[in-house]
């Protein structure tokens, strides 16, 4: 079945550092890919998405490019802030035609001032 693998956390960085959180996937068909963010004490919010190969999703300074050849969707940000501290989830949908999201295990990010 479809699956998503994220780099293990937790990840701790200093403010203004460059961030990469790796995400790879296995899916049949042509899935859409998503990054969700969960701030402390809150539910999940969509951060960005890409629906076809070579699409780049971007939001709040974060970006990720849908790479079909490497089955990856790595999340990047050039300069992180303390307010970016959260848990980040990579997810896919539609790979097997199912109307549901398949999530990675999540990566906890802590940014120190």
Partner 1 sequence: DVKVTQSSRYLVKRTGEKVFLECVQDMDHENMFWYRQDPGLGLRLIYFSYDVKMKEKGDIPEGYSVSREKKERFSLILESASTNQTSMYLCASSLWGELTGNTIYFGEGSWLTVV
* Interface with partner 1 (CB under 8 A): 4, 6, 31-32, 34, 36, 42-46, 49, 51, 89, 91, 93-94, 99-106
**What residues pair up with 112 in beta bridges, in sequence order?**
14
- Minimum CB separation of residue 13 from partner 1 in Å reads 20
User: Residue with structure tokens 């990047």?
Assistant: 76
Whole-number minimum distance, CB 79 to partner 1, in Å? 26
Q: What whole-number distance in Å separates Cα of residue 7 and Cα of residue 44?
A: 19
**Residues, the chain, total?**
113
Nearer to partner 1, 91 or 109 (CB): 91
Q: Closest approach of Cβ 44 to partner 1, in Å? A: 4
Q: And the tokens for 74?
A: 């790595």
């Amino acid at each position: 079945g479809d699956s998503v693998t994220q780099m293990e956390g937790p990840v701790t960085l200093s403010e203004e550092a460059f961030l990469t959180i790796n995400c790879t996937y296995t899916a049949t068909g042509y899935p859409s890919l998503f990054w969700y963010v969960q701030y402390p004490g809150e539910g999940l919010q969509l951060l960005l998405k890409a629906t076809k190969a070579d699409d780049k999703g971007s939001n709040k300074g974060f970006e990720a490019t849908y790479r079909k050849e490497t089955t990856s969707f790595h999340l990047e940000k050039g300069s992180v802030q303390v307010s970016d501290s959260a848990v980040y989830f990579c997810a896919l949908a539609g790979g097997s035609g199912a109307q549901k999201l398949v999530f990675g295990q999540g990566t906890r990010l802590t940014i120190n001032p």
